[in-house]
Structures are given as C-alpha cells and as structure tokens.
C-alpha cells in the first residue's frame, strides 16, 4: 500500500495513461481488472461516444477506473457534465489550467489528478487543489511540454516543490523503470506507450505493429509552435521537417497538420500520412501483449529489482 494505491483504491501503483485513439473502455477495464488504474481517453471521443465508453467500462469492471480529459477541446463543458452524470470517480485533466475545473469536480466527490511537465505547473496544480499530479518527462509519447525536461530530472525537481502524491510518466515501460522513478520520489507511474501496444488498445493493428518496430532515435518532439508532440519519424513527420526548412508561419504548420491526422495514423492505420504518437521507450517494446500480462510482467520485474537494489557494494 502507498499513497497512490490508497488514493485510488487499487492494487498496484500503475496507471494506464489516457491516450487518444488507443484507450477506450476495453483497455481501461482490462488494466483496472488487472490491478492497475485504467483511464478512458476522452480526447478523441465525441461526448456521446465517451458516455457509451463509460457505461461499457462500468459493465466490464467492478474496479476503480477514470477518465482523462485534455482541456483544450471546445466541448469540454459537455464532457465534464457527462463524467459527473455517469458517476465517474476519478478524472485526470491535462493540457490546460488546473484551476478551471478542479474545484467543480472535487465538489462532486471526484478525485482529480492533473498532468504537468514542470515543477512550476506542479505547484500550480497543487495550489488548485488536485489530489495528485502526473509529472511527465519529454520522452513521453503524445503531447508534451516545450522545455524538454526528462523524467529523471523532472521527478526530483517536482518532489522538492510539492507535498501531494506524484505519478511519474515518460519512458516507463518496465518494472525497473517504475522502481527508478519511485526511488526518485514518485508514488506511482503512468504508462502510455507500452499500453498503446497492448491487445486491448483500440488503435489500428498497423500502428501497434509499428510500435514494436520503433527503435532508439525513431521519434522526435516536434510542432512546438502549435502543441509540442512526440511523433514517429514517418513520411508525415518528414513533411513537417521539410516545411521547417522554409521557416514556416504558424498558419503554414496548421495547414500542413490539417484535421484528424492522429485518427488517420493511429486509428485508421495510415502509417505514411498519419500522425503516430509514441514515446522514446517504444525502442524496448517488442511485443503486443494483453494488458494483464503487461502489468504482471512489470510487477514481477519490479519485485525482483527491489531485491537486487540492496546488492550494490563499493
Ligand atoms: C498514443 C498516445 C496518445 C496519448 N494521448 C493522450 C491524451 O489524450 N491525454 C493525455 O493527457 N496524455 C496522452 N498521452 C500521454 C500518456 O497519457 C502518458 O502520459 C505517456 O504516454 C507516458 O509516457 P510513455 O509514452 O513514455 O509511457 C498519449 C500518449 C500516447 C503514446
């Protein structure tokens, strides 16, 4: 038991990060049933689709689960209302100001966690009254901070500033990675990329197979002028780099990005023209496994690594 397992009433301090086009109810419920905390990723769902996923998740698990809400979407109010109406007990907010919705959600008895990429924002989230924060290093898949702060440096800096529980994210796919961040001061971990390559992930099989082929150096944090995002270096990524050569305006970049690129890449499986969001740690993801197996592997490696840790002698 620790602060994170107690906060969410779960067995293991492993949270499956909310991921657009990847984390529907199937993945969230599988993770929760395996003893972690599954999150439905609301970012790629129309409000009524989200409602359906929450209802299906409630049927698929009797364990706690939550919803991740990136706050930059226009229909945020509708999304928040659905979460409240459906009795969701845990919300992870990201990409926005934690002050906007935290008090409202907490009044409804919902536990709120906010995702940050710096110690300054961690402090702001704590001041806004969240129950815990996710501190996400720039090696993570998906949208990220501009500052390129790695998980290894972010966790101790955040730890220095705040008192509430810290969930480390970015570059964690194994029990050893989990232990490393917990030694640095994290109370739990949020894992994205590894679950994107799970059997239950709702992404296209082409994308999952691509993840297991990704090697060291195959991803890059780009589009910092819009919303920084870590992408696989595919044809679309190359098109962005070619445009950068011409010193593009923000509008030029927005036009190239167009609409629904992430859906095209991750959900429809277009590996050339789509946006493929994955973290650096994909380089050690070699298999598409069921979520339960991922959690079991992580926890058994974590336990072995905990024992080994005591063996250093100098
Ligand atoms: C495909 C993909 C989509 C993601 N979408 C979201 C999202 O919608 N909201 C969010 O807060 N984080 C999102 N993330 C970040 C994850 O929730 C998680 O914090 C991150 O993946 C952790 O780093 P890792 O990829 O190294 O495990 C996404 C990550 C990936 C890989």
pLDDT tens, 159-185?
A: 999 999 999 999 999 999 999 999 999
> Ligand 1 center to residue 181 CA distance, Å?
17
Is any ligand 1 atom within 6 A of the Cβ of residue 198? no
Is any ligand 1 atom within 6 A of the Cβ of residue 192? yes
**222 C-beta neighbours (distance < 10 Å), count:** 17
| Element (DSSP H or E) covering residue 184 | none
Is a pLDDT exceeding 80 seen at residue 10? yes
- Residue pair 67/54 in contact (Cβ under 8 Å)? The answer is yes
Percent of the chain beyond pLDDT 70?
Answer: 99
Mean pLDDT of 98-124: 98
Which spans in 170-282 are helix H? Answer: 175-183, 193-196, 205-213, 235-244, 250-257, 261-262
> Ligand 1 center to residue 56 CA distance, Å?
22
Is a pLDDT exceeding 80 seen at residue 93? yes
- Residue pair 69/91 in contact (Cβ under 8 Å)? The answer is yes
pLDDT at residue 309, rounded to an integer: 67
pLDDT tens, 238-274?
A: 999 999 999 999 999 999 888 899 999 999 999 999 9
Is any ligand 1 atom within 6 A of the Cβ of residue 42? no
> Ligand 1 center to residue 14 CA distance, Å?
14
pLDDT tens, 33-90?
A: 999 999 999 999 999 999 999 999 999 999 999 999 999 888 999 999 999 999 999 9
Which atom of ligand 1 has the smallest separation from the CA of 115? 11
Give, as one character, the DSSP assignment of residue 136. E
Residue 66, class by beta-carbon neighbours within 10 Å (0-12 exposed, 13-18 middle, 19+ buried)?
A: buried
> Ligand 1 center to residue 46 CA distance, Å?
19
Query: What residues are paired with 15 via a beta bridge?
Result: 37, 190
């Amino acid at each position: 038991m620790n602060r994170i397992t107690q906060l969410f009433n779960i067995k293991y301090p492993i949270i499956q990060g909310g991921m657009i086009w990847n984390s529907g109810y199937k993945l969230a419920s599988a993770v929760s049933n395996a003893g972690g905390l599954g999150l439905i990723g609301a970012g790629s769902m129309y409000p009524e689709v989200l409602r359906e996923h929450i209802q299906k998740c409630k049927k698929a698990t009797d364990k706690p689960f939550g919803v991740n809400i990136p706050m930059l979407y226009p229909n945020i109010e509708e999304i928040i209302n659905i979460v409240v109406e459906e009795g969701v007990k845990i919300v992870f907010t990201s990409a926005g100001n934690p002050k906007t919705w935290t008090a409202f959600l907490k009044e409804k008895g919902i536990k709120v966690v906010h995702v940050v990429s710096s110690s300054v924002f961690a402090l702001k989230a704590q001041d806004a009254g969240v129950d815990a924060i996710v501190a996400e290093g720039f090696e993570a898949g998906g949208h990220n901070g501009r500052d390129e702060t790695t998980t290894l440096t972010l966790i101790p800096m955040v730890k220095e500033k705040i008192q509430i529980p810290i969930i480390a994210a970015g570059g964690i796919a194994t029990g050893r990675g989990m232990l490393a961040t917990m030694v640095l001061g994290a109370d739990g971990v949020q894992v994205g990329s590894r679950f994107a390559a799970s059997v239950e992930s709702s992404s296209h099989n082409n994308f999952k197979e691509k993840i297991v082929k990704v090697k060291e150096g195959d991803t890059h944090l780009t589009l910092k002028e819009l919303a920084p995002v870590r992408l696989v270096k595919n044809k679309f990524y190359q098109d962005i780099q070619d445009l950068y050569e011409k010193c593009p305006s923000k509008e030029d970049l927005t036009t190239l990005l167009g609409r629904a690129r992430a859906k095209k890449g991750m959900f429809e499986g277009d590996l050339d023209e789509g946006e493929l969001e994955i973290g650096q740690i994909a380089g050690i993801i070699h298999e598409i496994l069921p979520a339960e197996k991922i959690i079991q592997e992580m926890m058994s490696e974590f336990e072995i690594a905990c024992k080994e840790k005591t063996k250093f002698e100098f």
